[in-house]
Amino acid sequence: MKTRKIQARLKDLLNANRRAQIKQEGAIKELLAKLKKKERHLRDKLSNCKDDEDSKKLKVKIAVCHAQREKGLTILKENKNQSKAPEKLKTSADRAVPSEEQSSKA
């Protein structure tokens, strides 16, 4: 198999992975927005709560929502870093190919 065919197949594969990743990012962002809204709602309830037992329950729910949001943000950051990695490989591979000027100097 020629190099161009291999590169084309790799590019198609990376594009398919990237499309799936973008779709996943959209779903995660939507869920993060809902979690943020829920966390705010729970914080408002907590500020109006007078019962100690209820306030403890609300604090636990707030902590869970916050932890889930942090996990989601971490996943988004990892996806963003992974999507940048193939671009870096591409640019470093382009640099690794010697130009005609460099090969004539050697």
Task: State percent of the chain over pLDDT 90.
Answer: 41
Q: Which residues of 11-46 are buried (b: 16+ CB within 10 A; e: fewer)?
A: eeebeeeeeeeeeeeeebeeebeebeebbeebeeeb
- Predicted local confidence at residue 47, as pLDDT: 94
* Average pLDDT over every residue of 17-40: 88
pTM (predicted TM-score): 0.63
* Average pLDDT over every residue of 10-14: 78
Q: What is the pLDDT of residues 39-82, one digit of tens each?
A: 999 999 999 999 999 999 999 999 999 999 999 999 888 888 87
